Amino acid sequence: MTAVLGIPSVLGITGQINLDYAATAPCAQAAADAVAELLPWYGSVHRGAGALSRRCTLAYERAREAVGDFVGARPDDHVIFTRNTTDALNLLARALPAGTPVVTFGGEHHANLLPWPVGSVRLPVPDSPGAAIRGVDAALRELDRPALVAVTGASNVTGERLPIAALAAVARRHGARIAVDAAQLAPHAAIDIAALGVDYVALSGHKLYAPFGAGVLAGRGDWLDAAPPYLAGGGATTHVGAATHDVRWATGPARHEAGTPNLLGAVALAAVCTSLDVEALHEREQALLRRLRSGLAEIPGVAELRMFAPDADRVGIVSFVVAGRDSAEVSAELARDHNIGVRDGLFCAHPLARRLITEAAARAGRRDFPPTALRASIGLGTTPSDVDALLVALDSRRALGLAA
């Protein structure tokens, strides 16, 4: 697929319609090219004197800079390579100062729901951006001590965006910090840590067109430098003595990157961060998203899931149910009969997805909605014809097994 509007192309199989970007995005050509270029030089990272090691070390640290630039990291922020968003948020959870409460919402992805310590404050799912702001403000006022607010940038179930800048302002007013799960936001919209007033951002390469096993935690270094290393091992130390307790740990990203780093993952992710014109992509995706949502709204028996009002800001993700049909069966039929890949289930956000299905049934006045949902998500390689193909397939009574 060729690049359009200055947007890089992605690899794909002819004849297959991929509308499952929110789970794992296809590989960008830029990422594949960057890996192919480096592979003949592949060697150890850090401390090697040979040409291979020196080139790979330079590539790795340049990748760190490129990712930092992509998320708007401040000069004193750490950019730590991890495996994915889940890994990054678990790292941050390990780095929390003892006794620090965490405020989050019940609608988070499990990656931002499960790592936090017992006693964390889990707020109800907000029904509007304003409700989210008021909920965090009230929770922090009641805690009356330094806390961490951990929220998603964009829901992986509905695509709806949280008001991150406003939530960051509320956190600052109460002396709290804020971490953003940007796994679904980063592939669709620009992120600027400094401009947003955010303390930490976590993201995954495999959702950002770089499926080579790298993720990132970027943000303030003081908690990270004070915390025990995420992994104990080589590369995370500056000194190891004969006694087991005689260890001095490194500061900076190295403290939490023990072992041989994922050089190829870092380089692939940096290549996408450097080549991706997020603003141009966002404009294009919004047009596709409007086409998808308006088409779904016209199909009898199909109901979209949402937390907020229908016109709320969102990225290219839509979850929906088909009345009277099992979601897994519908997704299987779309794949088998139409070569269309969507996702079915509860999307690793079980509390939220179940709640939204119940609310959608109440709005529609129906009792035949399935217990799980379908999700269509768009990205770099999505075309208007892909969206139309899904809508035609869903509107086919034969495909859905509905009475005419």
The CATH number of 29-275 is 3.40.640.10
The tally of CA atoms less than 13 A away on the side-chain side of residue 331 is 20
- Fold: same for 17-26+277-400 and 29-275: no
Q: SS3 for 339-387, per residue? A: CEECEEECCCCHHHHHHHHHHHHHHHCCCCCCCCEEEEECCCCCCHHHH
Nearest to 307 by CA among 349, 279, 278, 343: 349
Q: Which residues are catalytic?
A: 348
Q: Are strands 302-304 and 317-322 parallel, antiparallel or unpaired?
A: antiparallel
Q: Whole-angstrom Cα distance, residue 203 to residue 390?
A: 28
Q: What is the dihedral of CA 291, 294, 298, 302, to 10 degrees?
A: 100
Instruction: Please report which residue ranges of 200-301 form alpha helices under DSSP H.
Output: 221-226, 263-275, 278-297
Computed over every residue of the chain, the mean pLDDT equals 94
Q: How confident is the model at residue 48 (pLDDT cuts 50, 70, 90)?
A: confident
Residue with tokens 């409700």: 131
User: What does residue 378 show for φ and ψ, rounded to 5 degrees?
Assistant: -115, 165
Which CATH architecture is the domain 17-26+277-400 placed in?
A: Alpha-Beta Complex (3.90)
In the predicted structure, residue 79 carries a pLDDT above the cut 70 = yes
Q: How confident is the model at residue 1 (pLDDT cuts 50, 70, 90)?
A: very low
The residue ranges of every structural domain in the chain are: 17-26+277-400, 29-275
CB 29 within 8 A of CB 9: yes
373-377 β-sheet, strand order:
302-304, 317-322, 373-377, 343-345
Q: How confident is the model at residue 404 (pLDDT cuts 50, 70, 90)?
A: very low
Q: For a pLDDT cut of 90, what percent of the chain falls above it?
A: 90
DSSP, collapsed to helix, strand or coil, labels residue 78 as: strand
